[in-house]
Amino acid sequence: MFDEVLARVLDLLQRQGRVSYRALKRRFELDDDYLEDLKAEIIKAQQLARDEAGEVLVWTGGAGQPQTPARDPERPPLAYTPGYLAEKILTAKHTLEGERKQVTMLFADLKGSTELSEGLDPEEARKLLDPALHVMMDAVHRYEGTVNQVLGDGIMALFGAPVAHEDHAVRACYAALAMQAAMRRYAEEVRRSHGLEMQARVGLNSGEVVVRSISNDLHMDYSAVGQTTHLAAQALAEQALTLARAHQERGNQAYALRRLGDIAARCDPPEGEPAVAYYRQAITLAEALGMRPLQAHCRRGLGALYCHMGRGAEARAALSTAIQLYRAMDMTFWLPQAEAVLAQVGVVD
């Protein structure tokens, strides 16, 4: 048990560079003696960190700066998987390949994350979003789930494969509860320091997958049997839409509709017409409520979808409008993404 907690603390410390003892006690539910044992091992035995003023642990070991998975969503899972879990996966990977496994998928994201970044430069936005992603990943790893995709504002994780557990659904539920508890604490910090609201949403769905292969960097190639992956994300968005309609929160309805559009657009193959309908409903609400950032995001998603569907003229119109909105609001984090999609339209035509 101690080795697992040590590995998780070292992974967190290497990513963030520095972490307070109070935060460690809260995140890992440590008592004073346990914390002192960790400090002795990390600072004195392994000499990977130093104490600062008796309050903060500062990473000193290894080359380079602390790693931040959210800055590059293409980083392999090995880069953000604790060592003890990585070893288990690599040891068992040959017996897993080709196997049909019953699993539980977990999707988690931040409600209104795009609005959090409004008015912030990309670096400041990342400073708010990255710790939230780490909180999500820590909760997954605590119950031996594996994070197989890190998105800009959320994660996708798997319980039951590649680390086999018969109680995968229970573990996923415990991870979701731990994630929400930890996110409430982080959200309070953000509220005090920036005056911003932050809330995590979590969706779960169980089903079967076939594990095709697991590479040495822990990237897992698998195919879902049925709609395991799709349904987990869709359940999360539909729940948000139902709650928003029940409370007559038109703004949150628009957010949920945009999310459903994103999910339908990213299906394999994309559910083109349903996605278009979701995006258009979201845009109508966003325009009526004066929610310009959401209008821009929906038009960017719609433009990318039209591009995939070979509808070049409609793609250009949607993306051009998105770019105009981003420029008017000085949303430099999202502007290059819309411009990159628009540059692809000519290739599709």
Per-residue pLDDT of 13-38, as tens digits, reads 776 678 888 878 877 778 788 888 88
> Where in the chain is CATH 3.30.70.1230?
68-226
Superfamily name with CATH number, domain 68-226 = Nucleotide cyclase, GGDEF domain (3.30.70.1230)
- Residue 158, SS3? strand
Structure tokens at 322: 């998105």
Cis peptide before 269 (omega within 30 of 0): yes
Domain 2-59, CATH class in plain words = mainly alpha
Q: What is the pTM of this model?
A: 0.51
Q: Residue 167: what pLDDT?
A: 94
Token pair, residue 308, equals 């995939």
Angstrom distance (rounded) from CA 153 to CA 125: 11
The predicted pLDDT at position 61 comes to 67
Q: How confident is the model at residue 171 (pLDDT cuts 50, 70, 90)?
A: very high
For every residue of 86-125, DSSP letters joined together read: HHHHHHHHHHHTT-EEEEEEEEEEEETHHHHTTTS-HHHH
Element (DSSP H or E) covering residue 262:
helix 250-265
Sheet holding 146-150, edge to edge: 146-150, 154-159, 100-111, 199-214, 220-225
Lowest-confidence range among 53-62, 63-72, 285-294? 63-72
Q: Is 163's pLDDT higher than 50?
A: yes
The CATH 1.25.40.10 portion of the chain extends over 249-349
Instruction: Check residue 228 and give its pLDDT.
Output: 53
Q: What percent of the chain shows pLDDT beyond 90?
A: 20
Please say if the pLDDT value at position 125 is more than 80. Answer: no
Strands 154-159 and 100-111: antiparallel
pLDDT at 205 over 70: yes
Which of these ranges, 113-122, 129-138, 178-187, 278-287, has the smallest mean pLDDT? 113-122
Beta carbons of 163 and 90 less than 8 angstroms apart: no
* Cα–Cα distance for residue pair 228/205, rounded to 1 Å: 6
278-312 pLDDT tens trace: 999 999 999 998 888 889 999 999 999 998 888 88
> What is the predicted pLDDT for the residue at 138?
92
Q: Could you tell me which of 325, 321, 316, 323 has the C-alpha nearest to residue 337?
A: 323
Lowest mean pLDDT among 70-79, 239-248, 328-337: 70-79
Q: Output b/e per residue, 45-79; b: 16+ Cβ within 10 A.
A: eeebbeeeeeebbebeeeeeeebbbbeeeeeebeb
Query: Topology of domain 249-349, per CATH?
Result: 1.25.40
Q: What percent of the chain has pLDDT over 70?
A: 78
In the predicted model, is pLDDT for residue 221 greater than 80? no
**What own/partner pairs with CB < 8 Å and gap ≥ 24 does 73-79 have?**
73/149, 73/150, 73/151, 73/152, 75/150, 76/215, 76/217, 76/218, 76/219, 77/146, 77/147, 77/148, 77/217, 77/218, 77/219, 77/220, 78/216, 78/217, 78/218, 79/217
Cα–Cα distance measured from residue 92 to residue 304, given in angstroms and rounded to the nearest whole number: 39
Q: What is the pLDDT of residue 219?
A: 59
Q: Which pair of tokens denotes residue 62?
A: 């290894």
Q: Does residue 64 surpass a pLDDT of 90?
A: no
Contact 21, 56 (CB under 8 A): yes
Confidence band for 140, pLDDT divided at 50, 70 and 90:
very high
